[in-house]
Amino acid sequence: MKRIFIDAGHGGVDPGAVGNGMREADINFEVAKMLAQNLKKLGFETKLSRPTKTHIPTHPRDGGQTINARALMSNDWGADYFISIHTNAAGGTGAESFFWGADARKFSQSILDTYCKEMALRNRRNEQTDRWGVIRLTHCPAILFELAFIDAPASKPDIGILRHKRGEMANALTKGICKYFGIDYLVTAQAMSKDVQAAISSLNRHGVISATQVKHWRNNYHRLRYVDSLIINIAASLGGK
C-alpha cells in the first residue's frame, strides 16, 4: 500500500493563525493525527511530521527552517504522497487545496471535492502553486490543504466545524483519499460482534491462529467483509465458540 506523509502545519512556539479562541496548530495536529489513524486502518503506511502537539520538525539539512525539515523528512522516508494540513485565515469561508506537480492535481481535487461535500463547505479552489516551500520541496505529489477559516464570519459554518467536528474533518479527508485510490471507505464500519470475538478466541485456543494473529484480526476487522459466518463455522467445527 502507498506511503502517505502527513504534515500538521505550524506547531511548537508557532501557533499559526489564531481566532475565536482556537489555535491553528492545535486544529492541524488533531486532524492530522486522526487522518493518519484512519489511513493506517485502511492499510496505508503513514508518518507524521509532528507526533506531538509541541514537537517542532527538524532535519540535519534543513538550514534552520522547519518548512524545509518537513519536506526533507518526507523525502527521506520515501513518501508516495504528501499532505500538509492547515487552517485558513483572513475572513473568508470554505476550504481550498494547493498542489505542486501535475501528478498531484487529481489527488488534490478528489480530496477537496469530497471534503467540501461531506462538510457542507464552500469549495474555493484547487490551485497549482510553487508558493509554499513545504510542498515545492517534496519529491512526490504534494498538497497543502486549508480546512476552513478560523476567523470566518459567525454566519458561516467554518467556526462550528473547526471547534466541534475535527473527527468528521479527518473522516472527510480520508474519504477523498479513498475515492482517489478507488478503495472502500470502511474506517467507521460496525465493530466486531460478540459471536465473532468468541469464535476468534476459540480459534486461538485450538491453535489455529496465534495471539499476534488475533490482535491483527481485531485491529483490521473493519476491512474484512463477508467472513463472519466463515469464522463462526470454523470455530464451531473445532468444538465450540
C-alpha cell of residue 61: 539539512
What is the full DSSP assignment across 3-55?
EEEEEE-SBTTB--SEETTEEHHHHHHHHHHHHHHHHHHTT-EEEES-SSTT-
How many C-beta atoms lie closer than 10 Å to residue 52's C-beta? 12
The C-alpha atoms of residue 74 and residue 143 are separated, in whole angstroms, by 13
CA angle 69, 74, 75 (to 5 degrees): 95
Is residue 81 classed as helix, strand or coil in its secondary structure? strand
The C-alpha atoms of residue 215 and residue 93 are separated, in whole angstroms, by 43
- Per-state percent for the chain, helix, strand, coil, to nearest 5: 45, 20, 35
- Helix 211-219 / helix 194-205 crossing angle, nearest 10 deg: 160
Find the catalytic residue in 24, 45, 127, 146: 146
Asked about 146 being catalytic, the answer comes back as: yes
- In 3D, which of 123, 164, 151, 181 has the Cα closest to residue 31? 164
Active-site annotation, residues: 146
